[in-house]
Each structure stands twice: as structure tokens, then as C-alpha cells.
A and B are shown apart, each in its own frame.
Chain A
């Protein structure tokens, strides 16, 4: 187990290193840089002013040197300066992380709390009206785009309650924050919950046809015990994998939701930074996301051991 963990950590480090090169190179392959955009935003076409900005930001230096400077800074905890705001990148990124993290966790919580029980109910009550209803609900979750659903929620709120649940002021206190993030989290988590529900249902149906379930029933185990102690635990393995993947995908969903609900989180900021070719912001944020994804994958692998004692990671 110990050497397995060491191997995993080394692999994680190697993956992140590969990611850093990929991000760095891909960003520079996109046409236009910050100097182009700053000059373009001012509606001018003066090559001298552009060259001056590029020099000031170090964009005229060899690409290897730029990469070395970034990675060197990263190891020292120095994320560099944001090109657009001209403030330390850490000051720009840090306050936004908790907002998006809370939103992601709430969305994930929402999708699990809805997806798993509904999936189980749907499987247990297969081919009943309730099953059909839940399947239609999950299908709608997969087919409704988040931005459309978000706008619909906002319109309905303005029409019926005369208020709009958008993030215009920093929430005061935990309850206000939960209230403010709950609706966007539900909107972004709806799609994931649908996916989790469908997967839980099919996984449950498969497990419930296994011999050991029949054996448990024949031994007189109650329905609840069979469904939840025997079937669900075994059916959860693929669901956990999907939850792990969805946690990463939720960041993509957040871009739209943060825009519609005007939440000043990381996802919207990342899109804006890409638009401005604000390399220090994009590079560091993508690395952060990569780190989160790699870590979640690792945790999912560890969770397998807890869920299925037969799984052992050999040294």
C-alpha cells in the first residue's frame, strides 16, 4: 500500500508537470496576446505602444524563460502579476476560490442527495408511475441547458416574487450565503443529479439481479436491508466514479451559472482571463483545476477500498 501511494503521488506530480507544459504552450498558440488585446480595446493600432506593453510584461522574452519563471514562481508560491489588473495574481484568484468551491460542493451535494435516492427508488419501483416520473425528470435534467434553466428561474423569480436572486453584494453571514448560492447550485447540480440518478438506477437494477441478492431475500432479509445494505453498497461503485468525474465537470457548468447568476467565482473569472489572454491568471487557475481533478481521482480510488473490501492496492 505504501509504495502504491508513493507511485500514485509521483504519477500525480508527473501529470501536473505535463499539464503545466500543455497549458503554457496551448495558451501561446491561441492567436493574439494581452498586448494585442489591450491595444485593441483602446481601438488603436500603434505597434510601438504594443511593443512597449509586451516588453513591460516580459512577453518579448524566450518562451522557455517565461515558462521557467512561471514554474519557479509557482514553487515559491509566487503566482506572478495579473496582466490586466496589474495586481498580484494570488490577490485576484484567492478570494474567488471559496465562492466557487462552496458552489461546487453545494451543487455536488444537491446532485448526490437527489440523484442517489431517486435512482434507488426508481430501481426498486421499476416500471411504476413513480419510476416513469423520475425517469422523465432525469431526462429533462440532462436535456435542459443550465443557462436556459438559470434564466428561467430568474424570470420566474422576478415575475412572481419581484426580486432577483443574483449575487450583487457580498453575503453577510452563513445563512445568507447559503440562500444566495442554493438556487444556482440547484441549477448547476440538476444535470449531475439526473446523470447520477440514471446511473444509480441501472447499477441497482443490475445488482438486484445478482444471486447474492436472491440469497439474501431467501434467507428472510427485509426489503430495506436487501435494498440498502446489500444492493446499494455494491451498486455505488460506478456511481462514486461518476461523482468524481462530475465534480470536475461541474466547473464547466459553473461558467454558465456564474455568469447568469452573476457570481464572482473562479469559473467566470477564468473565461474572462482567457478572453484577455491574461496568462498568469489562466495558467494558475487551470493548474489549480488540474490539481483538484487529480486529487479527486485519487480520493475516488481510495473510496473504492472503503466501499468494496475486496479491492486492495498491491505494493
Chain B
């Protein structure tokens, strides 16, 4: 009798444990609205969520951030095409053991050569005629990567110039898929092949990106969905109404602003909406190489004039995050706590005192209320850029700066900044991985293509290299905060706030975990299923 009870209890327990596995339903088409035309389908060549979100599901990385965790952390990196990895004793060689039996969507076998081919293209070790990757916005990520060697079909080694603890995190990012060696660039930009859970059926500009289930996916039982239909709907009102009407199962990532959230919840009360940082910060570009902001004291006055609160209240209903370059805790791993942040210029809570100091500086430089400094605030002629620029112009009046908005056609924005044809600019900067290496190297290192302001500070360059090589995380964090302090004191791209927005989906869509410090990660969709 006892054994029967035990057997029954055991069976019940096993069933209960197994229940979640059976709960996922296979099939269905997930419909998502897309905000614009992705410039191409080649993730390595682009720097926008418009490309990563629809196309990440086509590819695999070597490793990835654990998709079940909300926070991307170097401690939570899991295997993808690599089964395992190891460093040599001096941490300059990172060897991956790769899965065997993996196939590209065209049926050809995946091997270590594909890995070598991809990263050779990224570090420019290809002949001139190769067009696999014709634009390389994250070249600086791999500046420490010296070589890629192939041990066998299932073994590949990344040879680094020096230890770099962030390197694995960069490989785990959504921006680091493995490309097929035999594919050409044109195909990768229009109808790419990958090893991922979904195949591209069609990518029609102004219409849709259609993905279907890869029946030969190496991860057995995945994906659950039969297909994903991304509908390109450039008009935000139409997109939102489409979601409310049930035309779409999910909004585009971070597409729902806080004022819109109220409407969505009112019209579709069962919608699941989640707010999280967008990995984009609003910041000010100051041209330090030309008058009048070649004077450090004037740059300091400008920084002291900023009051983050009105930006946050007006643009984000108070939900944006205050921080320097790195995303603040609890979302970010490297940002300063509030009490440390407030010691930085421009972050003190006593705005009146800051502005009084700024006015003193201005008066010393010969500017008064009746004789203000006249400047233009240049920005991209897009609402998300213009709106904070207008608030900035208003705030600058308090320190005798009479600024005028200079809206720039978005197509020539970077050209203008690169030519240094501006005094002050309002800018938005996104980050691929929550790691100081990507944020600092990309935006502040003198060798970076994405350091638009051409900020050059040998001391900062040295500190960036130093933190990058530091293996002890606490020690590294201290160096990171030292860099933050120096950048703030130097008025190098003063950060106003880190933006926060909402993503919504229907309650029938299950298995999606939004990554809170990495909007560019976690879009594989292989664990997502529809409860219909």
C-alpha cells in the first residue's frame, strides 16, 4: 500500500514538475509591428535595434547572455554555437569548442572557419574585394583582437593582445552573430542565412520581414513558433492602434512612451507592458576645439546650468534614470550609486547653487543678462532630438546664454559634427552591451570611429585601456568611476538622462524575457510561444 502511495505521489510530482514543459504550445505566427525600414538585415553592419530585433532570431552567436535573466552579466553567459570555452593562463587566448552537426539555412555545414571568417572581416583581415561586411560600426570592440586561429572544424581560438574581461560579453551581445563564410554581403544585407531558429522568407522594404521556423534547428524542440511576421508600420499612431485592435501581438521594442502607455492600458487592459531602460542616453556635444567653448570654464558653466529634472518630467513623466555614462544601478552593473553621482559636476541636487556658480563664471568671461553669449544648439531634426534641445535652450537662458535651435537634416548630422561645424549639439547615444569597454571605447577613445566629437584625452585613453585589462571587477569599477568623474569634469558629452520606455504584448504571448540592461540582446524568440 505504502509503495503504491509512494508511486502515485512520485508520479504526481513528476507530472507537476514536467507540467511546464508540456505547457508550451507549438505553432502559430507571432505578429509584431516594426517602426521603420531596417537599413539592411546585416546585424554586423548596423547599429540600430531596427535591425537587431527582427534579425537576431536568424542567427546564433558563439555565446549569449542567459535569455532567461533580465540582467545581462558576464557571470550569466551561456553556450550558443560554442559548447564550452576556456582561457589560457595569461588570459590572452580564448578557445571555443563548437557544436558539431550544425547547419546553415542553406544546408551547408557550420564550422570553425565560419567563425574565423566573420571576425577576420570585422578586424579587416580580408582582401579589398570582400563585401561580407562593408560597414563596421563596432570595429573598436575588436581592437584588442589580434588573430583567430582554427584548431579543427570544432575548435577556434581568439588571440587577444592583452587580457580583456569584457571580450566574452561582447561576443554574447546580439550584435555578434556568426556569419556564413560562403555567403556574400549583398545576400546578408537583404536575405541573410544563419544557423538560428528562424529562416528569412522575405524582407520587403516598407512592408514586412517574414521569418519561418527552421525545422533543422540544432536545438531540438525549438523554436515553438511557426513563423514571425514583422509588419513595417512607420506611423506610430497606426502601430499603437494596430496593437490595441489585436492586429499585432507585440509592439516594437520600447515603442510605447509613458503618455501613450495610459492610452494603451485604457483601451487594452489585458496588455502586458514592461518599462525598462532603452540603453540610450541623452547627452550634450560641446565643440571644445573652437570658440567659445574652447574655454574649459565656459564648458563648466554650461554643465552647471543643466537641471535634469525638467527633462525627465517633461519627456519621460519622471521615469528616466539619472546617471553619467554608464547605466545606473539597479539596472546597470557599472553606474555610480546616487550619492557618488551627486558629487559630479552637473549632478548636484542644488540647481540654484550650481547656476549661481555658472553665472559667476559667465560674468568673469564678460557675459551678462544684457550681453548674453549667442550660440546655436544643433540637433537632428527628429522629435526625440529636438525636444530635449528646446528644454536645454530654455535652461541656458538662466546663465546668460541666448541659444537658438539649429535643426539639422538627419542625413548630414554626423558629417556636420565630424566637421566640427557646431558649438553645442543635442545628441542621443546607444550602447550595445552594458560594459565600460563598449561605452568608453566607442564614444571617448581617440581611436574610435564613433567618437564623433573627436574627444582626445591621453589620460582618458590610458584609463580606458587600464580598466579594460583589469580582471578584478571591483578594481575595474573604481577605475570606471574615475573615468566618469574626469569626463564629467571635462564636460565631455554631459549626460542628461538615460531614457526609459515601455514594450507591450498580448497576454497570449509567453516566454519573452526583456533584458533590462541590453535592449540589443534577447531577441532570439526561440523560447517564445503563443497560448492560443
Contact = CB atoms under 8 A, between A and B. Distances in A.
Interface of A: 31-32, 36-46, 49, 52-53, 56, 84-87, 92, 96, 151, 154-155, 157-159, 162-164, 166, 168, 259-262, 264, 268-269, 272, 275, 277
Contact of A164 (B48, B131, B189, B242): B242
Interface stretch (B18-26, B149-157, B243-251, B343-351): B243-251
B418 A269 contact: no
B136 interface: yes
A145 to B, nearest CB: 14
Given A43-B47, A44-B449, A166-B242, A92 B231 contact: no
B255 interface: no
B415 A36 contact: yes
Given A31-B412, A36-B414, A162-B246, 6 more contacts: A36-B412, A41-B47, A43-B430, A44-B47, A162-B245, A262-B235
Contact of A86 (B137, B189, B235): B189
B46 interface: yes
Nearest to B452: A45
B204 interface: yes
B205 A272 contact: yes
A224 to B, nearest CB: 45
A52 to B, nearest CB: 6
B235 A56 contact: no
Contacts of A53: 134-135
Interface string B172-191: 00000000000000100110
Contact of A158 (B204, B267, B430): B267
A40 B39 CA distance: 11
20 contacts: A32-B412, A32-B415, A36-B412, A40-B410, A41-B46, A42-B46, A43-B430, A46-B449, A158-B244, A158-B245, A163-B246, A166-B238, A166-B242, A168-B233, A259-B238, A260-B235, A260-B237, A261-B238, A272-B206, A275-B411
A86 B246 CA distance: 34
B37 interface: yes
B241 interface: yes
B450 interface: yes
A140 to B, nearest CB: 21
Q: Which of A157, A164, A269 has the most CB of B within 10 A?
A: A164
Contacts of A163: 245-246
B233 A166 contact: yes
Nearest to B233: A262
B409 interface: yes
Contacts of A168: 31, 231, 233, 242, 247
B411 A40 contact: yes
A43 B47 CA distance: 6
Contacts of A158: 241, 244-245, 267
B234 interface: yes
B484 interface: no
A166 B208 CA distance: 14
B449 A85 contact: no
B85 interface: no
Nearest to B417: A45
Contacts, number: 131
B45 interface: yes
A45 B241 contact: no
A278 to B, nearest CB: 9
Contact of B450 (A32, A45, A260): A45
Given A40-B413, A40-B414, A43-B47, A154 B238 contact: yes
Interface size class of B (residues with CB under 8 A): 35 or more
A281 B139 CA distance: 31
Given A44-B47, A45-B418, A85 B134 contact: no
Contacts of A39: 135, 414
Interface in B111-153: 131, 134-137, 139
Most A-side CB within 10 Å, residue of B45, B235, B237:
B235
Nearest to A86: B186
Contact of B135 (A38, A157, A260, A261): A38
Contacts of B246: 162-163
Main secondary structure of the interface of A (DSSP, over half): helix
A41 B380 CA distance: 13
Nearest to B429: A43
A158 B243 CA distance: 10
B207 interface: yes
A44 B450 contact: yes
Contacts of B238: 151, 154, 164, 166, 259-262
B247 A264 contact: no
Given A84-B39, A260-B238, A32 B190 contact: no
A42 B136 CA distance: 8
Contacts of A49: 134-136
A155 B414 CA distance: 38
Interface in B204-248: 204-207, 231, 233-235, 237-238, 241-242, 244-247
B13 to A, nearest CB: 44
Contacts of A43: 47-48, 137, 414, 430, 450
B190 A87 contact: yes
Contact of A37 (B207, B411, B418): B411
A265 B423 CA distance: 42
Contact of A154 (B45, B46, B139, B241): B241
Contacts of A84: 37, 39-40, 205
A45 B417 CA distance: 10
Contacts of A40: 410-415
Given A32-B409, A158-B245, A272 B37 contact: yes
Interface string B450-461: 101000000000
Give 10 closest A-B pairs by Cβ, nearest first.
Answer: A32-B411, A164-B245, A43-B47, A42-B137, A41-B39, A264-B207, A44-B137, A46-B449, A158-B245, A45-B418
Interface centre among A37, A43, A272, A277 (most CB of B within 10 A): A43
A52 B130 CA distance: 11
Contacts of A46: 135-136, 139, 449
A156 to B, nearest CB: 10
Contact of B134 (A32, A37, A56): A56
Contacts of B244: 158
Nearest to A47: B418
Contacts of B417: 45
Contact of B205 (A31, A44, A269): A269
A154 B245 CA distance: 10
B206 to A, nearest CB: 5
Given A32-B415, A41-B39, A42-B135, A164 B231 contact: no
A269 B207 CA distance: 10
B411 A52 contact: no
A185 B215 CA distance: 42
